[in-house]
Amino acid sequence: MSTTVNKGHAPYYYVPGPSRHPMMAAFGLFFVILGAGQWVNGSGWAPYALAFGLVWWLVVLKQWFSEAISESERGLYSDRIDVSFRWSMAWFIFSEVMFFASFFGALYWARQHVLPSLGSIDNALLWPDFKAVWPTQLAGATASPAGTVEPFRTMGPWPLPTINTALLLLSGVTLTVAHHALRENQRSKCIGFMWATVLLGVVFLICQGYEYYEAYAHLNLKLSSGIYGSTFFMLTGFHGMHVFVGMLMLLFITLRLQKGHFTADRHFGFEGAAWYWHFVDVVWLGLYVVVYWL
């Protein structure tokens, strides 16, 4: 049941009415997941399904966010709603921490436990030239049985991963400067640094895409390249997806700033997006060390 309020007075705890947006967003995400999964398996129609789902999802999010922004600008959100938003965002980021921890844990377990255990087994149970090295199918080190996994080279830290690290660290700085500018009522400065942050996010995604091209075209590193390939693309791919989502958040916030939204003392929408972006930065630092260096 929605909350009825007098104009200009925030209710004790505003409860919006029934909404179709969650179901519509889930419909778009269904096609995103279906298209992505079938694309990996070589289906010709999969890219179109993925594009349709992504466009649908973005349109629904735009409408959903517009309604939430309208409620906020009409003064319907009290301090209790602000606290609720903060806790919700904190728990959401915690769930994302657990999400990435599972992939980091899988990589650690494969390298530190599974590989040594396989190395202690008689080669009669594995292929004859198996060696307990990482990656397990690295060119020149070992070969998979009957060539089921083609030899490949690993992706090193130079130059693209290091460039991407610098881009994300710099984006964290520009975002922090923008936040301080907003708290000091320097809106023009805040908007300028927010656009810089969004641009750095876009450049990161472009570099990530080019890195994938290099992996496939020149290193023969693919999703099917054994456990190294699967963990590499799962970790970096999901991180890239989070960068894309975070960049969209920052873009929405920047457009709202240009419309005069947010004040020096009430701007959790800005803070929530900033929390998420800094989380993405920290995850990348872990990826940079574990995936590209170790």
Instruction: Calculate mean pLDDT across residues 242-255.
Output: 95
Same domain, 93 and 230: yes
Given phi > 0 = left and psi -120 to 50 = alpha, else beta, which region is 18? beta
Bridge partners of 138, per DSSP, are 152
- Could you list the residue range(s) of the whole structural domain that residue 20 is in? 1-77
Most confident of 127-136, 139-148, 234-243: 234-243
- CATH code of the domain covering residue 57: 1.10.287.70
Same domain, 202 and 167: yes
* Distance, C-alpha 149 to centroid of its chain: 28
Task: Give the per-residue pLDDT at 117.
Answer: 85
Same domain, 84 and 72: no
Same domain, 4 and 141: no
Same domain, 190 and 283: yes
Same domain, 61 and 86: no
The count of domains in the chain is 2
CB-based contact 168:200 (threshold 8 Å): yes
Better-scored residue on pLDDT, 140 or 26: 26
Same domain, 242 and 97: yes
Band the pLDDT of 1: cuts 50, 70, 90. very low
Same domain, 93 and 159: yes
Instruction: Calculate mean pLDDT across residues 93-103.
Output: 96
- CATH code of the domain covering residue 174: 1.20.120.80
Residue closest to 165 by CA, chosen among 83, 288, 48: 288
* Distance, C-alpha 142 to centroid of its chain: 34
Rounded to two decimals, the pTM is 0.87
Same domain, 132 and 243: yes
Q: Tell me how far apart the alpha carbons of residues 174 and 193 are, in angstroms, rounded to a whole number.
A: 5
Residue closest to 126 by CA, chosen among 141, 108, 144: 144
Point out the domain boundary residue: 77, 107, 130.
77
Q: Tell me how far apart the alpha carbons of residues 137 and 117 are, in angstroms, rounded to a whole number.
A: 16
Same domain, 95 and 155: yes
Point out the domain boundary residue: 50, 77, 104.
77
Residue 8 has pLDDT above 90, yes or no: no
Same domain, 52 and 85: no
Same domain, 36 and 149: no
Residue closest to 228 by CA, chosen among 125, 149, 113: 149
Band the pLDDT of 142: cuts 50, 70, 90. low
In percent, the amount of the chain with pLDDT more than 90 equals: 64
